[in-house]
Amino acid sequence: MDPVFLSGQLFTGLSVASLLLLTALGLALSFGLMRVINMAHGEFLMIGGYLTFIAAKLMGPGFLWLAFPLAFVGTALLGALLEFTVIRRLYGRPLDTLLATWGISLILQQAARQIFGSTGVPVTAPAWLSGAVVVHGGVLDGLTFPHVRLFVIVLSALVLGGMWWLLNRSPFGMHVRAVNQNREVAASLGVNTRRLDMLVFALGAGIAGVAGVGLALLSPVNPTVGAAYIVNAFLVVVVGGVGSVLGAGAAALLLGFTTALAEGLTSSSLAQSIMLILVVVFLQWKPKGLFPTQSRALEET
């Protein structure tokens, strides 16, 4: 395979992995903390995308300054609402949450279909993002890096760094880690676990909303875009190890690269199938994912 094509595939894989990572971060957080499987998480991505579309309509070329806060706050509020009305009633019943949130995702998708139509709405990237970096000379002559994809990669690196700081260096993060390790003990030491659950859930939703902005820049937003990402995002969580931010990052890269490489070698649909089967095989080797939470407990509570 020629090196230009190969590096191009890897670069595309990296940008896809970035979006996957942003989507999976929220899932990893809420799954690690509350053992909640949120099937409607992909719809936060979709809503973030539509909010970007609205921002672009309102503001014109400089819309990104509005799109980020709008997408983050909008989806975070919706996440908080979802947590308050449905999810907190289902703690300790992960399989049931899965079904309920799938129902919510159906409702949100249908609502989007009726408001925005079933075909994708395009968002034009601002002028400073529409160019590309082109490599001249050397082995990689002719390789292009579109600005939009570079922007998405930088964005997700920034969010990942921010999340790492928040979880490992801030008081909020200390509480999250404490509840993650032992909910009862954390609660008895004065952590308001209910409030924390809601905040973490809203935060995860907000990050997915931000991912939606990146998604809107890369391709048109349609009602089923969230559903397309959700299965892969869950695989990232499973491969990375539940509740591990680092693991989610590594797994997103791994999945993104594997898919991009397989796509280069065979057809796109076969690549997707191969990737999914590779994940199942991987779990034979490491059933708890790349970075499992160490625990001596016999059963997960």
Partner 1 sequence: MNRSAQTVLIGVAALALIFAPLYLGAYSLTLLGRVLALSIAAIGICVVWGRGGILSLGQGLFFGLGGYALAMHLKLMATAKGELPDFMVYNGVEALPWFWKPFVSAPFALLMVLILPAAAAGLIAWLMFRRRITGVYVSIITQALVLAFVTWLNGSQGLTSGTNGITDFQMFLGINLRGESVARGLYWVTLLILGLCLAATALLLRTHFGAILTAIKDNENRVRFLGYNPAAYKIAAFALGGLLSGVSGALYTLHLGTISPAMIGVTFSIELVVWVALGGRSSLIGAVGGLILGNLAKDKISSAAPDAWLYVMGGLFVLVVLVLPQGVAGLLNHRRVRRTVPSVRREVKEVTDIA
The tally of CA atoms less than 13 A away on the side-chain side of residue 20 is 29
CB atoms within 10 A of CB 9: 19
Q: How far is the CB of 60 from partner 1 (least distance, A)?
A: 33
- Asked if 47 and 213 touch (Cβ cutoff 8 Å), the reply is no
C-alpha–C-alpha distance, residues 94 and 100, integer Å? 10
Q: Closer to partner 1 at the Cβ: 284 or 294?
A: 284
101-107 CB contacts, 8 Å cutoff, 24+ apart: 101/37, 101/38, 101/39, 101/40, 101/41, 102/39, 102/40, 104/39, 104/40, 104/43, 105/39, 105/40, 105/42, 105/43, 105/226, 105/227, 105/230
Q: How far is the CB of 121 from partner 1 (least distance, A)?
A: 19
Q: How far is the CB of 57 from partner 1 (least distance, A)?
A: 24
Q: How far is the CB of 223 from partner 1 (least distance, A)?
A: 10
Q: Closer to partner 1 at the Cβ: 85 or 144?
A: 85
Q: Closer to partner 1 at the Cβ: 85 or 168?
A: 85
Q: How far is the CB of 136 from partner 1 (least distance, A)?
A: 37
Q: Closer to partner 1 at the Cβ: 115 or 127?
A: 115
Nearest alpha carbon to residue 12 among 273, 286, 263: 263
Which amino acid type is present at position 89?
A: R
SS in 3 state form for 166-230? Answer: HHHHCHHHHHHHHHHHCHHHHHHCCCCHHHHHHHHHHHHHHHHHHHHHHHHHHCCECCCHHHHHH
Q: How far is the CB of 301 from partner 1 (least distance, A)?
A: 12
Q: Closer to partner 1 at the Cβ: 73 or 274?
A: 274
Cβ within 8 Å of residue 112, ≥6 positions away: 43, 46, 47, 50, 223
Report the interface residues with partner 1, using CB under 8 A. Answer: 31, 35, 37, 86, 89-90, 93-100, 102-107, 109-110, 114, 227, 231, 234-235, 238, 267-270, 272-273, 276-277, 279-280, 283-284, 287, 298-300
Q: Closer to partner 1 at the Cβ: 153 or 208?
A: 208
Q: How far is the CB of 237 from partner 1 (least distance, A)?
A: 8
C-alpha–C-alpha distance, residues 197 and 204, integer Å? 11
Q: Closer to partner 1 at the Cβ: 154 or 228?
A: 228
Q: How far is the CB of 123 from partner 1 (least distance, A)?
A: 25
Which amino acid type is present at position 248?
A: A
Q: Closer to partner 1 at the Cβ: 92 or 122?
A: 92
